[in-house]
Structure 1
Amino acid sequence: MQLNHYLNFHGNTEAAFNFYKSVFGGEFSPLMRYGDMPAQDGVTLSDADKQKIMHISLPINESTVLMASDVNEQFCAQTNQPFTVGTNHYISINLDSSEQAKAKPLFDALSANGSIEMPLDKTFWGALYGAFTDQFGIKWMINCQLENS
């Protein structure tokens, strides 16, 4: 299991991560834009939103990865969570495929009496993923990469 910091930005993730890369070095792994997502019913993205960062990772060392995404207005409306600088941070628990059995118990235990943003479910990037705010106001993500991805 790996715990990482996951940051949200309001349209300037790419600039922020180019800065972090200049400080820490390394290469982005992976970098996905909203335009890379499969089409979803009821979701229309502008050309500008398609260029924003859906997910970016910058490995800092063997055990630490800094990750982030741009949050757009549709996301804020959909999750009923406005973007607020200072509260735009998640703790991300990353499990590999051998730890898949831990994903649901961790999600259920940590989210108890909290607010689920995205239920734990399979994703188009080949993982079990879910996000929530725990009963103490801390934001969490659970991501378990599946073997067949």
Structure 2
Amino acid sequence: MTQLCAYLSYNGNCAEAMAFYARVLDAKVEALITYAQMPEGDPVPPEHANRIMHAYLVHPDFALMAGDTPPGVPFEGIKGAMLALTYPSAAEARRIFAALAEGGTVQMPLGETFWAEAFGMVTDRFGTPWGINGGPKPMS
């Protein structure tokens, strides 16, 4: 089975972001591998040893991968994309939106649209942009 999965980059706070997403999204972090845990070969600068090389978060409906930027790669944030989640109810969308907005920046407050009872855009405190939908409306 082919699966498309977003892979996000962070600047030293990947482990914290994945723990937050696991809690908020009712998901599970299945892998959290540091640069120090990589097989021997390429040396890792000491300042990167405890940074996350690879994280894997799973939910029954989706998966998410992430890591802290590798040595020598400047962190530039997440640009030109957002993660979109759709929930069956507007109430669930409101709960998730509120959790992601805590300490983040709301670009578009949650409100009714022609495609959903609730839609809003927020960049969370880790710099990840989200589009949250709830209570989808029929589109014809």
Counterpart contact for 2:14–2:66, Cα < 8 Å? yes
Which amino acid is 2:76 matched to? T
User: How large is the Cα RMSD of the aligned pairs?
Assistant: 2.1
| CA displacement 1:72-102 (0-9 Å, x = unmatched) | 442x1xxxxx32112397xxxxxxxxxxxxx
The answer as to 2:61 corresponding to 1:69 is no
Counterpart contact for 2:30–2:58, Cα < 8 Å? yes
Runs of at least 4 residues of structure 1 off by over 6 A?
A: none
Q: Distance in 2 between matches of 1:72 and 1:20?
A: 22
For residue 4 of structure 2, give the secondary structure of its aligned residue in structure 1: strand
Which structure 2 residues correspond to residues 23-62 of structure 1 after superposition, within 5 A?
23-41=24-42, 43-46=43-46, 48-62=47-61
Which structure 2 residues correspond to residues 67-106 of structure 1 after superposition, within 5 A?
67-74=65-72, 76=73, 82-87=74-79
> Residues 2 and 12 (structure 1 numbering): CA distance in 2 closer, same or farther, change over 3 Å?
same
Counterpart contact for 1:33–1:52, Cα < 8 Å? yes
Which amino acid is 2:63 matched to? V
- Structure 1 residue 6, shift from structure 2 partner: 0.7
Which amino acid is 1:6 matched to? Y
Q: Distance in 1 between matches of 2:26 and 2:13?
A: 19
What TM-score do you get using the length of structure 2 for normalisation?
Answer: 0.50
Counterpart contact for 2:56–2:66, Cα < 8 Å? yes
> Bigger radius of gyration, 1 or 2?
2
What TM-score do you get using the length of structure 1 for normalisation?
Answer: 0.47
| CA displacement 1:1-60 (0-9 Å, x = unmatched) | 00011100011101111110110123211221111112224x3320x4211111111112
Counterpart contact for 2:12–2:68, Cα < 8 Å? yes
Corresponding residue for residue 19 of structure 2:
18
For residue 30 of structure 2, give the secondary structure of its aligned residue in structure 1: coil
Identical columns (%): 31
Structure 1 or 2: larger helix share? 1
Which amino acid is 2:34 matched to? R
Which structure 2 residues correspond to residues 121-136 of structure 1 after superposition, within 5 A?
none
Unaligned runs of 5+ in 2: 82-140
- Structure 1 residue 69, shift from structure 2 partner: 0.3
